[in-house]
A and B are shown apart, each in its own frame.
Chain A
Amino acid sequence: MKKFLALLTVCALILGSLAGCGGDSGTPDQGGAGDTGGVAANSDITILDYAEMSSLYPLDMGTVSDAQPMFWIYDPLLRLDPNQEYVWMLATGCDTNDEGTEYTFHLREGISFSDGTPWNAEAAKANLDIMADQSHGYKSQFMYANIDRTEIVDEYTVKVYLKEVYAPFLNALAIEPAGMVSPKLLEAGDEALNTTPIGTGQYTMKERRVGEYCLYELNRDWWGYDADICGGTPLVDADCGFNTITLRPVSEEATRVAMLMSGEANIINSLTHTNKATVEAAGKETLQKVGTSMAYFYLNCQKDVFKDVRVRQAISMAIDIDALNDVVYGGEYEKASSFLTGSINFYQPQTPYEYNIEKAKQLLTDAGYGDGLTLVCWEENDTTDIQRGEFIQQQLEKVGITLKIYPQEGGFLTDNVNAYSGDPKDTAFDCYIRGYGADTADPDEAVGRFASKALPPMGGNYSFYKNPEFDKAIEAGARSIDSDVRAEAYATAQKIIWDDVPAVALLSTCYSAAYDSHIDGLQFGPAGCFNLMKAKYVE
């Protein structure tokens, strides 16, 4: 018996020591004490996103989840408001030369980074230089490949020279990757950029436990509260903002919903229509915004099977997009009527393809695939994406096409397609279902991604679509700042690509979120991140 007791003690000791090495973890220590400024004292909120961010450096962001905290910590030179109008942030305005190759930015004065470094022309140049230098290989850098050089004019003025006219340049500076980082941090290198972000933003990062949570604290000295710096009226009211924000990655949608319902979370990102009804029934608010992003069913045009336009058209006719919308999205998305979503400038609706199985079968038979066809399809492994894929699988089965779907992690898919160095006709996938947001809200990013210049790894032309005429139209649109010229160019481009079907444009997607009654003023930014600038806590 003694031995047995001794044994138990040993076991207990081992267990104890093991448990001891666990260290502390768990809920973040939400501050709350001290000066609360104008913000509600107990405004410590929890936001749930569906994925963990992989980088904290704006320029290296690859996904919406990466971007989520970027605008809380960092301010860019300007932003787009929900109506795609410019809101000047770290700059107060800008002058352009007639050709559209030189941009002179007037920087806002009196701002400093949270490490005390002043915001001035030097800091701006440091950021813009890295953005322009493509050799760094950051994920979102390609947006700024057009910057030739940046010149300091005086302490609060910088002049950016472009290599060639690039119409969406200002829009590209208004999105998350263009957040301005403290020059000291830029010098410190990648590891510091990834662990200790320092910006001028409304929030600072206080603590991060990878995979668990990231805690942001209100920057009470944020310039946006200061009427003097903002030139008379402050950017936001003194009661806007939250004491702390805990951002947690919770990949299961059902878990996010349950946490919102139980009060463990205040805001949750991304929910399907089934769950939307559930949370609304429980008295929670929902937010929805038709985004600038569209889901495409890419067909690799370099594959023999898709060289025949009849096959591509047949697929286009075989998918009942309205039913897809109803079944998977509760009818809340918008059926695509062009390769651009309606919210993007120069959008031109096209004649929709009719849903017609018989005609699709006929086209397939004509093309020599009357006996059926097996295609390998890639997609993201997000729950609704899988459901979308399964739906398309069901639809195509009716015309004799067997779709073999491989759902995989989004970041992995992107890297894998981009790293592909072989002949495009030998890619592992035949088709690829993916949504893509045009964060700049400019057609160059939205439809320009089907041009040859955007062939992987340079961009998202996963259809490997090459059409000189289309390329010409896209080029004409990007290289002019004259609206009429651009409108015409993009009208042509949209027509060409719609008839050519290198991908089936499925739906304009919606960003969706739900939040509880304590939150007021929540908005979506252009890329689908939460814009919390004017959000506040209500009792």
Chain B
Amino acid sequence: MTTPPLDGPRPKGRLRWPFTLRIETRLDSPRGLATWVSIGAIGVALLLGALVLRLVGGDPWQAYGHIARAAFGDLGVFSDTLVKATPLILVGLACSVAFRMKLWNIGAEGQFYMGALGASVVILSGLVPESASRPVTLTVMLLAGMLFGALWGLIPGWLRARLQVNEIITTLMMNYIAIAFVNFFVFGVWSEGGFQMTATFQRSAWFPRLSDFADQWPGLRGLTTHFGLVLGVIASAIVWFLLYRSRWGYEIRLVGDNPKAAEYAGVNITRNTILVMMVSGALAGVAGMSEISGVVHRLQTAISPGYGFTGIIIAWLAKLNPIMVVPVSILFGGLILAGREIQPAGVPRLIQGIILFMLIASEVLLRYRIRLVRVAAEG
């Protein structure tokens, strides 16, 4: 694997710049290089974003300053940031698991909606009576959310495994279908007085919040961070263990790195494809359930400002490492929280796009190095 030097013979007799850029394949990978390259890429992305904001007549530094203050400025807003980070952790994990096997699940958004629907069905259909205790109610909601999300992952997973149907497009199409499906239930079945929301769930269907404990610890008053964050952190530990310490995770990573070798080693690719898509869907479903139970306390339209898509960027930025998904999600949670108030409305999305672009463009620096070398004197 060598790349030929770019400096070929050139016409003689003219004065030339005595150095040339040379691109060489990296044989080593210095410790920490990947991290620094990622940080550099984000820095460049933020500068580019600032440039665009400047060009459309905004004040980028004010906008960035506002984002930083409105997301991490004090304990209250940081708690809100964590609320936004909670679904992001779970969808980020959903994407990481699937991407690790090179399954492009772009459908976390739809699986999120289905998870929310599943959690709502058990409450609104009366499957869980109002008198049921909180742990029972929440457990049933969680399982229903996982089930609905997993089902939404199963369909494209099965199509991919059995019929070789491209999962990128099917998962994406399933997003639109899920959102229309949820809208049907919100408007047509459970609408509360004609509004685009259902009735509020009973208290036993709400995740506990930090502010619920303000009686014992007054410092927690007004903090909205809910139990979903704990679920997210637990999930990231479980996913890390599954991927890096279990036989199944080894199989997934092997398929992702080298499907031929995995097949020769006897890995059942069909079964793993379906399983991974279901696990991925279930994680995104938990995100939807957690948002319903921890934040909105009912089912309504537009419960996600594109969490499922941000999950893709988070997974990539975390290099598909489940542990890294947590801090990256907190950063993006801040961006989404603070970005809500920024005009024009597309700014957070634009910045996310630029960050992802810079990240993948910067990966070339991990594989190659660019050196300035002296041009050899021509004999």
- The finding on whether chains A and B are genuine partners in a shared complex, rather than unrelated, reads no
Question: Hey, which bits of chain A sit against chain B, CB under 8 A?
Answer: none
Question: Hey, which bits of chain B sit against chain A, CB under 8 A?
Answer: none
